[in-house]
């Protein structure tokens, strides 16, 4: 059966709908803001300084990035219509766009950057709306692999951070500061529970800063020079929609990086659902679509503000995993803090004086937890030799390019920059291998009919004919028919009471798959989730089961796995049935 491995009920203190006390919510939001602020501002600084932009534009870019990240984070958490995941997924500037954004600024200035960012946001809206069509390519296996590759991409920078101290500092400055941060953070995370564990990361950062102060690593010069309240004097550089030759030359690269970012967002949206509930739930792909759409909104706002594109910060998943607090109230507070910090240069400067070794040490813990979450996503989707091959090859291709072990010498500068990013090269490999497996797999046979009980004879005849053509035997045909019957009844029940412009349609596809048959039922979206209900069923036994529970029990007996993916406009249930053993 579809497994529901996950967290124990005790580790989630506040689920998304619950309301932690305001002091706890604000405290945790401040804690995350400290961690994320450096990444948001430094990414902008890297892009604009690499393109030799002026300090005035840099000040505006940082202001715009904080405003966009704050607004997009609030939408992401609250889930407004089809925008947002409804989970604590925080938005921040994306390092994946550094190379292409620098190229845009060098060749066309802010006008070209804004054009590319706005167009890329439209591509993300398109992806969000068509995610169900891409479900066989952008799979949990691909998403989990990309999540794992984030560690490969980020860890080298974190190791550099841990050794980044001013010239002339004591040789002990970096190792002592890193050890102080790690020891305190890990000791609290591993040994304490309750409020102490929740404040553990902030205590670890404070311990690291205390150690750093003894070695003179904290420089307060910028803090003294920063204004208390203000907006960059240079102001908005203007909106450009210049579809020049440079735009068309860079657009393919920008589009691909946007796709990789969307895959990362899919992985984050899947991962955050796994760690946000006390009782494990099947992944709600409506929330995943909302996360990608909110990512697109963030990019649209980034274009309007003429700053670097943003994406979901995967570390927010680790924050939920570590603290056990998934309440939306915390996510909203983080968004508000980002917006407020945009107008408080001195507070921003205060946060930015945290030494690099402290940030690197704590972020290493966050990314390490994230890597394990990626592996969990891959394993929970079901593992066979094909998926294992995709994950293993893609991961090590990404690691090879990231480390330089796989040479890019002789390639064009663009390809070198793209492939040297482990998340991009490994993610592209995972996509290519998944597409190859899908295109070369057994041919799918399909039928369409009305989603009603009267369609059952037609469905059973279709499956019996399929089993006979594939040489699976009459017994397998009967088993397929029974499993289809129970799935049909459950889908009909899930859609009862919903307003509909006409009769609901069902598309059924079947194909052989490693000694069994995979059936896929696609219908207009209902409210329930068969996979969740089967998990609940496994935990109790009703004295007088209702009709729907009988269907669930029969389906549980007939099928070896059931996966129910809910999209905004479609229910997709995948049922695998083992072929009957041949008798002779």
Half-sphere exposure of 150 (CA within 13 A, CB side): 33
**pLDDT the model gives residue 298:** 93
**pLDDT the model gives residue 40:** 83
**pLDDT the model gives residue 3:** 40
Instruction: List the one residue out of 39, 40, 63, 47 whose CA is nearest residue 113.
Output: 47
**pLDDT the model gives residue 551:** 64
**pLDDT the model gives residue 143:** 76
Give alpha helix (H) positions in 130-232. 140-162, 173-191, 195-198, 200-214, 221-225
Judge whether 39 and 343 are in contact, CB under 8 Å: no
- Specify the DSSP class assigned to residue 546: -
Measure the CA–CA gap between 268 and 274, rounded to whole angstroms: 10
Topology at the third CATH level for domain 445-578: Heat Shock Protein 90 (3.30.565)
pTM of the predicted model over 0.85:
no
Angle at 315 between CA 24 and CA 407, to 5 degrees: 165
Query: How far is Cα of residue 514 from the mean position of the Cα atoms in its chain?
Result: 30
Q: What does each of the 584 residues of the chain score in pLDDT, given as a tens digit?
A: 444 444 444 488 898 998 888 988 898 888 788 777 767 876 787 677 677 777 778 778 888 999 999 999 999 999 988 899 999 998 988 766 776 788 788 888 888 889 989 998 998 898 888 887 887 887 878 878 887 887 777 777 678 778 878 887 888 888 999 999 999 888 887 887 655 665 667 788 889 989 988 888 887 777 777 778 888 766 677 777 778 777 887 776 677 778 777 877 888 888 899 888 888 887 888 899 999 999 999 999 999 998 989 888 877 887 888 788 889 999 999 999 999 988 987 776 676 677 878 877 877 877 787 788 778 778 876 778 888 999 999 999 988 988 888 888 888 776 776 787 777 788 889 989 998 988 888 888 989 988 888 899 999 999 999 989 888 888 888 889 888 888 888 888 876 655 555 677 889 999 987 778 889 998 876 555 555 555 544 444 444 444 556 667 777 778 888 888 888 778 888 888 888 765 44
Exposure b/e, 357-389, CB count within 10 A at least 16 = b: bbbbbbbbbbbebbbebbebbbbbbeeeeebee
- Ramachandran class of 259: left when φ > 0, alpha when ψ lies in -120 to 50, beta otherwise: alpha
Sign of CA dihedral 571, 572, 578, 579: positive
Measure the CA–CA gap between 394 and 45, rounded to whole angstroms: 31
**pLDDT the model gives residue 195:** 57
Instruction: List the one residue out of 197, 207, 205 whose CA is nearest residue 325.
Output: 197
- Specify the DSSP class assigned to residue 579: P
> Which residues on neighbouring strands pair with residue 449, listed in sequence order?
506
Domain positions in the chain are 9-438, 445-578
**pLDDT the model gives residue 4:** 43
**pLDDT the model gives residue 560:** 83
Instruction: List the one residue out of 566, 565, 536 whose CA is nearest residue 552.
Output: 536
**pLDDT the model gives residue 179:** 92
Element (H, E) at 520: strand 516-523
The SS3 call for residue 234 is coil
Measure the CA–CA gap between 562 and 520, rounded to whole angstroms: 10
Measure the CA–CA gap between 417 and 402, rounded to whole angstroms: 10
- Specify the DSSP class assigned to residue 167: T
Q: What residues have CB less than 8 Å from 299, skipping those under 6 apart? A: 117, 118, 120, 121, 124, 258, 309, 310
Instruction: List the one residue out of 433, 436, 313, 321 whose CA is nearest residue 376.
Output: 321
Q: How far are the Cα atoms of 5, 135, 567 from residue 280, in angstroms, in the given order?
A: 7, 22, 19
**pLDDT the model gives residue 550:** 63
Burial class (CB in 10 A: 0-12, 13-18, 19+), 91: buried
């Amino acid at each position: 059966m579809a497994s529901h491995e996950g967290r124990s009920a005790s580790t989630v203190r506040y689920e998304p709908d619950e309301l932690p006390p305001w002091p706890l919510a604000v405290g945790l939001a401040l804690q995350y803001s400290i961690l994320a602020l450096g990444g948001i501002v430094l990414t902008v600084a890297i892009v604009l300084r690499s393109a030799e932009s002026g300090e005035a534009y840099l000040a505006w870019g940082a202001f715009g990035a904080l405003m966009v990240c704050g607004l997009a984070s609030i939408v992401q958490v609250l889930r407004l219509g089809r925008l947002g995941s409804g989970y604590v997924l925080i938005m921040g500037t994306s390092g994946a766009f550094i190379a292409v954004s620098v190229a845009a600024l060098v060749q066309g200035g802010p006008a070209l950057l804004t054009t590319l960012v706005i167009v890329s946001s439209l591509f993300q809206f398109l992806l969000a709306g068509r995610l169900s069509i891409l479900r066989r390519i952008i799979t949990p296996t691909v998403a989990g692999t990309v999540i794992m590759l984030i560690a490969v991409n980020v860890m080298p920078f974190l190791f550099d951070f841990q050794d980044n101290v001013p010239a002339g500092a004591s040789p002990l400055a970096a190792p002592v500061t890193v050890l102080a941060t790690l020891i305190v953070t890990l000791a609290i995370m591993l040994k304490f529970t309750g409020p102490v564990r929740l404040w553990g990361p902030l205590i670890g950062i404070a311990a690291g800063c205390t150690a750093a102060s003894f070695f003179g690593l904290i420089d307060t010069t910028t803090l003294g020079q920063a204004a208390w309240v203000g907006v960059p004097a240079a102001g908005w550089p203007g909106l450009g929609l210049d579809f020049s030759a440079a735009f068309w030359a860079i657009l393919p690269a920008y589009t691909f990086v946007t796709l990789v970012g969307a895959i990362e967002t899919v992985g984050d949206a899947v991962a955050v659902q796994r760690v946000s509930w006390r009782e494990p739930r099947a992944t709600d792909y409506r929330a995943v679509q909302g996360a990608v759409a909110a990512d697109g909104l963030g990019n649209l706002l980034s274009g309007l503000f003429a700053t670097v594109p943003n994406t979901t910060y995967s570390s927010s998943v680790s924050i939920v995993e570590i603290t056990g607090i998934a309440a939306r109230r915390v996510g909203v507070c983080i968004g508000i803090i980002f917006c407020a910090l945009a107008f408080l240069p001195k507070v921003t400067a205060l946060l930015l004086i945290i030494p690099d070794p402290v940030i690197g040490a704590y972020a290493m813990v966050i990314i390490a937890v994230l890597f394990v979450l990626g592996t969990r996503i891959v394993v929970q989707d079901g593992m066979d030799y094909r998926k294992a091959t995709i994950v293993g090859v893609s991961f090590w291709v990404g690691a090879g390019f990231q480390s330089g072990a796989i040479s890019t010498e002789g390639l064009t500068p663009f390809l070198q920059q793209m492939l040297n990013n482990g998340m991009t090269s490994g993610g592209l490999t995972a996509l290519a291998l998944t597409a190859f497996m899908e295109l070369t797999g057994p041919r799918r046979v399909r039928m369409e009919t009305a989603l009603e009980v009267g369609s059952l004879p037609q469905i059973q005849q279709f499956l019996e004919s399929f089993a006979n053509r594939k040489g699976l035997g009459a017994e397998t045909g009967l088993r397929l028919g029974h499993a289809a019957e129970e799935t049909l009844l459950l889908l009909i029940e899930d859609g009862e009471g919903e307003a509909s412009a006409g009769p609901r349609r069902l598309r059924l596809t079947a194909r052989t798959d490693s000694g069994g048959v995979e059936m896929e039922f696609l219908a207009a979206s209902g409210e329930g989730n068969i996979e969740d209900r089967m998990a609940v069923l496994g935990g109790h036994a009703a004295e007088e089961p209702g009709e729907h529970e009988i269907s669930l029990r029969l389906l549980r007996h007939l099928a070896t796995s059931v996966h129910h993916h809910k999209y905004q406009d479609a229910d997709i249930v995948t049922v695998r049935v083992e072929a009957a053993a041949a008798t002779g």
